[in-house]
Amino acid sequence: MSGLRIGMLTSGGDCPGLNAAMRGAMKACVEKFGEKNVEIVGIKNGYYGLINNQAKEMKRSDFSGILTVGGTILGTKRQSFKMLTSTEDGVDKIKAMKNTYKDLKLDCLITLGGNGTHKTANLLSEEGLNIIGLPKTIDNDIFMTDVTFGFHTAVNTATDVIDRLHTTAASHSRVIVAEIMGNKTGWLTLYSGIAGGADVIIIPECPYEIKKIIEAVRARASRGRGFSIIAVAEGAFDKDEAKLKRKDRLRQREESGIKTASERIAAEVERETGIESRVCVPGHMLRGGSPSAYDRFLASSMGARTAKLIEDGNFGVSVAMVNDRITENKLSDIAGISKPVPVDHQALKTAKQLGISLGI
């Protein structure tokens, strides 16, 4: 064969492992098809670059030394599915993406991203393009895959944050609320909270009762533990808010002047217990830095899988890890579907067994 042209783009939030996955895909394709038979085209800034034909021919040297590098060498932009399918600005974005694909003479396009990226990837697949997805997100919430690359590194970073908060909380006898990324799901907060020894873990899947959190803090104080660490997913809400639609929750918070669950929890704990409380938001630090050894392995393995899929002509799929095996799922089966923490998940049982309050 000759002239196999493979496009790559990274979309949505960045995370460690994106570069490793692209490197893995390139190396596996070169190994399988031969260096002279493979051309890699990098699409800059995600789907925005695909719409506007922002692309560059990539050399093998472009992938050298990036296994350990965080972020993405192609750049990325957040583009909502609604924005990508809208023609309000006079641009038919779907048509523009299809035209770029054809103008670049691509044989397939590898899209690296999370739920939103996969939703658009499925749309392009249904439009007749040869698409292969690679699942990245620190939220670990892509349906039908056990783990996404970027998650493991973010757990390490969030755990380090919680570790460091212990010493300052203990020194000042404070309650510190660590707000961990996770708008819709609590995988990152749950895993790092357990690993970091948090006393309370609050996630969106388990709407909390503030009195339960206060009880946990008071119980520790009664045992002579004058400080507590509360790990809260940014998308958490209480049982009363759970009865509301998301837009109504946000409006209610805006009106109250306390916009996040973390701020509310800290304020109410301090008021009810008298223990000085603070909020720490590590934010985008959780996305940054070099990928862990496990994420390098996972990203490389998932990237390498794309060569086999291309050889088999198996498109319209996303690579996945299922039962410790690298496999793939149909994009149509997973697009637009999130993976929440099941209420009977072993990690929740472990937290309870360790005496960690879930605020319920």
CATH fold match for the domains 4-149+291-334 and 154-286: yes
Domain limits, the chain = 4-149+291-334, 154-286
Tell me the residue type at 45.
N
Which residues are paired to 332 by β-bridges?
none
**Which helix H or strand E contains 179, and what residues bound it?**
strand 175-180
Retrieve residue 290's tokens.
């070099």
Homologous superfamily of the 154-286 domain (CATH): Phosphofructokinase domain (3.40.50.460)
- Give the containing element (helix H, strand E) for 134: strand 131-135
Q: Whole-angstrom Cα distance, residue 3 to residue 155?
A: 41
Residue appearing with tokens 């690679």 = 134
C-beta separation of 331 from 350 below 8 A = no
Q: Pick the catalytic residue from 14, 89, 107, 139.
A: 139
139 carries an active-site annotation: yes
Each of the 360 residues of the chain gets a pLDDT tens digit; together they read: 458 999 999 999 999 999 999 999 999 999 999 999 999 999 999 999 999 999 999 999 999 999 999 999 999 987 777 777 777 777 899 999 999 999 999 999 999 999 999 999 999 999 999 999 999 999 999 999 999 999 999 999 999 999 999 999 999 999 999 999 999 999 999 999 999 999 999 999 999 999 999 999 999 999 999 899 999 999 999 999 999 998 899 899 888 888 899 999 999 999 999 999 999 999 999 999 999 999 999 999 999 999 999 999 999 999 999 999 999 999 999 998 999 999 999 999 999 999 999 999
Helix axes 93-103, 115-126, angle to 10 degrees: 70
Euclidean distance between the first and the last CA atom of the chain, given in angstroms as a whole number: 60
Residues in the chain: 360
SS3 224: coil
> If you ran DSSP here, which 8-state letter would residue 46 be given?
H
CA distance 321 to 24: 16
Residues 328 and 301: their CA atoms lie apart, in Å, by: 12
Residue 203 main-chain phi, psi, to 5 deg: -130, 160
Distance CA 76, CA 98 (A): 19
Domain range 4-149+291-334, its CATH number among 3.40.50.2300, 3.30.2130.30, 3.60.15.10, 3.40.50.450: 3.40.50.450
Convert the pLDDT of each residue in 134-153 to its tens digit: 999 999 999 999 999 999 99
pLDDT for position 2: 58
Q: Are 112 and 6 in contact (CB under 8 A)?
A: no
Strands of 199-337, DSSP E: 200-202, 228-233, 277-280, 317-322, 325-330
Task: Provide the pairing of β-strand 38-43 with 55-58.
Answer: antiparallel
CB-hemisphere CA count at 13 Å for 269? Answer: 31
Instruction: Provide the CA 218 distance to its chain's centre, in angstroms.
Output: 34
Cα gap 238→298, rounded to integer Å: 35
Chain-centroid distance of CA 205 in Å reads 16
What are the respective helix, strand and coil percentages of the chain, to the nearest 5?
Answer: 45, 20, 35
What is d(CA 139, CA 180) in angstroms, rounded to the nearest whole number? 10
Q: In what order do the strands lie in the sheet with 55-58?
A: 55-58, 38-43, 4-10, 108-113, 131-135, 317-322, 325-330
Q: How much is the pLDDT for 1?
A: 47
